[in-house]
Chain A
Amino acid sequence: MAVEEVESRLLAYGHTACAGCGEALAARTVIEAAGPDVIIANATGCLEVFTTRFPRSAWRVPWIHSLFENAASVASGIEVALKALERSDEAKVIAQAGDGGTADIGMGAFSGMLERGHDILYVCYDTEVYSNTGFQRSGLTPLYAHTTTSPAGELTWGNATRKKDLPSIAVDHGAVYVATASVGYPQDITRKVKKALSLSGPKYIQIHCPCVPGWGIESHMTIRVARAAVNSGLIPLFEIVEGNIIGVRKIKEDERVSVEEYMKLQKRFSHVLKSPRGKDLIRQVQSIANLNIEKFGLLGINE
């Protein structure tokens, strides 16, 4: 079958992402929102590996990969080169990386890009683990998640630290636009990417994407799990323009779930639910969600 619509997608099929991959859906949504006139600098990570298995590529836009840590630096170079050639109006520059490439390994380059004020959209696909190398913990892994480097056992409860607040770090650098999105709501991603690309200056979007093998979920559950994360309050969806919160996605009363219901869907939290100390651990995670709900005013209705 050769269907024109499917054959002509900017992120072509045939890449080696797992069935039901949240990151693949997020990347497809971002590139379709951005359109063909973009240049992408990609960090090492699942997205880079599954889309460009040598000698083939799934991308139909100019795309470059250099190292794990320097997607933001490469993108900065491209942006400056476009300026020097007076061709900035011909293409937008996007840097994209996973959570490890942004929060840990690429943190310095990411900070530098924001500090220098390049006109770049930086997209972080947050799968909450190093999906590509076998699910090690990253700076964006949530509290008590089991990963291969934060294993749950008799004396440990999975990841001992909270998720790093990367959007706040970007805001404090003076990014013009900072937003969080979730693959559970692709229309929201589309809107935020289009809005970000209409502004000039450094922009940051963090997209929460479930990882099928990393989180221990079934391939058809990706969207359900992504939505449960948002509706539990653990992943607040907001937009910040020049430091001011201009919009949040409210949790509808009938869609609200507890963090326990969200954790039940995934194998990476199964030790929490089984253990006698589980109730205490769940209470701690629930308090993170409650803080988010309070901080961003996630309940109630939009004005």
Chain B
Amino acid sequence: MKQVFGIVVQPGTSREEKKTGWRVFRPKFKQEACIGCRNCHMFCPDGAVYRIDKKKFDADLDACKGCGICAEMCPVDDIEMLLERN
């Protein structure tokens, strides 16, 4: 990693240290009953949820910390939180 100056760092480099080990649960986007309300997309604190199609979303597990907000906010219960097993 290039460091320009003692206290100046490169932008967006937090991605190099993934926080995926923090997860206890991981979201599973069933992509069956989705109505395209975008709640999961809008409320994700880490910006992990991305749009594939109008009524199809998924979570980037590199970014997801498993907080479960997407599953709670889904009005049609199309997201399930599964226990993380490595």
Contacts and interface: CB of A to CB of B under 8 A. Distances in A.
A219 B50 CA distance: 20
A268 B20 CA distance: 29
A238 interface: no
Interface residues of A, number: 42
Interface stretch (A46-54, A85-93, A150-158): A46-54
B45 A222 contact: yes
Interface string B16-40: 1111001100000000000000000
Interface string A93-117: 0000000000000000000000000
Contacts of B1: 55-56
Residue among A13, A55, A219, A223 facing the most chain B CB atoms (10 A cut-off):
A13
B9 A14 contact: no
Interface string A13-41: 11111111110110010000000000000
B3 interface: yes
A5 B50 contact: yes
Contact of A187 (B12, B18, B42): B42
A17 B46 CA distance: 9
A19 B67 contact: yes
A186 interface: yes
B10 to A, nearest CB: 7
Nearest to A14: B14
Contact of B51 (A5, A22, A25): A5
B85 interface: no
A9 to B, nearest CB: 4
Interface string A219-246: 1111110000000000000000000000
B67 A219 contact: yes
Interface string A190-226: 0000000000000000000000000000111111100
Contacts of B9: 52, 54-57
A179 B12 CA distance: 29
A2 interface: yes
B12 A57 contact: yes
B14 A223 contact: no
B77 interface: no
A285 interface: no
Given A54-B9, A224-B72, A13 B15 contact: yes
Nearest to B11: A60
Given A12-B15, A57-B11, A28 B51 contact: no
Interface of B: 1, 3, 7, 9-19, 22-23, 42-48, 50-51, 60-63, 65-69, 71-73
